[in-house]
């Protein structure tokens, strides 16, 4: 059940204010660890450069 269907008036500025008031902020995604290494990594780029 959504807020509007429950009788609440909501808008983007209101939601933004409420989130900020309660300590929620927009964050940029961060990469925590590498996926791994590939023994053919350099070959991939050499093939791309040849095209």
Structure tokens at 36: 């791994």
**Dihedral (CA of 9, 12, 14, 18) sign:** positive
Q: Which residues contact 10 (CB under 8 A, 6 or more apart)?
A: 3, 4
Structure tokens at 22: 């309660």
pLDDT tens, residue by residue, 6-51: 888 889 999 899 999 999 988 888 877 777 777 778 887 888 888 7
User: pTM, whole model, 2 decimals?
Assistant: 0.42
Whole-angstrom distance, CA of residue 7 vs CA of residue 38: 56
């Amino acid at each position: 059940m959504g807020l509007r269907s429950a009788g609440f008036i909501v808008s983007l500025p209101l939601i933004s204010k409420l989130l900020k008031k309660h300590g929620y902020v927009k964050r940029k995604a961060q990469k925590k660890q590498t996926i791994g290494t590939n023994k053919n990594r350099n070959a991939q780029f050499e093939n791309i450069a040849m095209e």
